[in-house]
């Protein structure tokens, strides 16, 4: 019996096999969970195709986390596949190119607003859209990148991640009495589709190459995905508002 036996999970952000979300969905199924994926727009076909590469083909619901209409209809869409939810994986982030790549001082508010809405506020929006399906307990896990410092090229996405981390803490505070745990997994730089769109991404990977005590493989999604699944399980019943670093130890090393 796996650690997620009988759990019903929504996993967002599955686009390609080389994503943390895909690995999390795969491991969750291997550990006994029933998984539903979400996607929208042009990516919907990609997600539907990649769903067939999981151990069991997962259904896909349409969800744009910036759409009030989609959020309002999410619970009903999920009920077509599951009779409740035990966990949610938030693997969603986006910033316009003007908000990345060293243009921090020039980025207009409209583009900053898109980054904050999609990458930070969406954690609250997604959680509350799923809340009608939660039972006596549930676990929400978001994918993070350490926002305690300013990283090269990351710019307004770094600000959005700081807001994301704060949002998780406030959700943990307000939803704890309902039995809902909210935690984040802060992974080191990985060669995901999103990462490849960050100008100068190699500057981040170079840091890990020299500072990670345990070493770091930018092509290995498994460690972060395992952490996600562990937090979705019942093995952390009294942990909420936490950020679990899966980064080879870089967050703990000063120089």
Q: Which residues are annotated as a binding site?
A: 13, 19-20, 64-65, 92, 95, 161
Binding residue positions for substrate: 95
Long-range Cβ contacts of 197-206 (<8 Å, 24+ apart)? 197/97, 197/100, 198/100, 198/101, 198/153, 198/154, 198/157, 199/97, 199/100, 199/101, 199/102, 199/153, 200/101, 200/102, 200/152, 200/153, 201/153, 203/152, 203/153, 204/151, 204/152, 204/153, 204/154
Binding residue positions for NAD(+): 13, 19-20, 64-65, 92, 161
- Using CA atoms, how far residue 195 sits from 101, 153, 207, 251, in Å, is 12, 11, 15, 19
Write down the H helix ranges in the chain. Answer: 20-30, 43-51, 68-79, 109-116, 122-130, 155-175, 193-196, 201-211, 222-232
Closest residue by Cα to residue 85 from 169, 17, 141: 141
Closest residue by Cα to residue 142 from 194, 192, 189, 87: 87
């Amino acid at each position: 019996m796996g650690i997620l036996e009988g759990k019903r999970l929504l996993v967002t952000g599955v686009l390609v096999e080389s994503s943390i979300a895909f690995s999390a969905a795969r491991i969750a199924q291997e550990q006994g969970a029933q998984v539903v994926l979400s996607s929208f727009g042009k990516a919907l076909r990609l997600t539907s195709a990649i769903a067939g590469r999981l151990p069991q083909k997962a259904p896909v619901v349409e969800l744009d986390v910036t759409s009030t209409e989609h959020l309002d209809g999410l619970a009903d869409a999920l009920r077509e596949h599951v009779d409740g939810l035990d966990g949610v994986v938030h693997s969603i982030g986006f910033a316009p190119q003007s908000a990345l790549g060293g243009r921090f001082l020039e980025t207009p508010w409209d583009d900053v607003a898109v980054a904050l809405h999609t990458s930070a506020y969406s954690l609250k929006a997604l959680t509350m859209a799923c809340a009608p399906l939660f039972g006596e307990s549930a676990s929400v896990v978001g994918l993070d990148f350490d926002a305690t410092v300013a990283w090269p090229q990351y710019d307004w996405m770094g600000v959005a991640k700081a807001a994301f981390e704060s949002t998780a803490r406030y959700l943990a505070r307000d939803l704890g009495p309902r039995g809902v745990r909210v935690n984040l997994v802060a992974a080191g730089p990985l060669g995901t589709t999103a990462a490849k769109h960050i100008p100068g991404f190699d500057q981040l990977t170079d840091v890990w190459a020299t500072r990670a005590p345990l070493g770091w493989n930018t092509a290995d999604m498994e460690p972060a995905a395992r952490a996600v699944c562990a937090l979705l399980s019942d093995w952390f019943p009294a942990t909420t508002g936490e950020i679990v670093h899966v980064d080879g130890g870089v967050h703990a090393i000063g120089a």
